[in-house]
Amino acid sequence: MKRWRLRDPASIRWRAWDDGWVFFHSPSGDTHLIERPAAEALVALRDGPSATDALARLVEAQVAPEERQDLETALDAFLTRLAELGVVEALSP
């Protein structure tokens, strides 16, 4: 199971809107619009590293029941993409 951490928590600025969240990643200068479950997972990483399955359990109540089966896979894909952008990184087991 992958464990993730924010590369530099101080480099991210957050803003919550009614239908989603926006975060600005200062090293890249990029702004990202993400849905609430993904944002909650990222916010949880501010407190320290976490495994994909733990993040999925944290946000599963915010996801439609039919989407919960693939939630862990979706979060892993999301975090992998953010790792490619330099926002998060996977930790060695």
21 forms bridges with which residues in the sheet?
16, 34
Q: Model confidence over 5-15: pLDDT tens digits?
A: 999 999 999 99
Query: Global pTM?
Result: 0.87
Gyration radius of the chain's alpha carbons: 13
Domain positions in the chain: 3-87
Residues 6+ apart with CB under 8 A from 30: 24, 85
What pLDDT score does 92 carry?
79
Alpha carbons 58 and 44: distance in angstroms, whole number: 9
Query: Quick check: helix, strand or coil at residue 43?
Result: helix
Quick check: 84 and 1 in contact, CB under 8 A?
Answer: no
Per-residue pLDDT tens digits for 28-83: 999 999 988 889 899 999 999 999 999 999 998 877 777 777 888 999 999 999 99
pLDDT at 81: 95
Residue 27 pLDDT more than 90?
Answer: yes
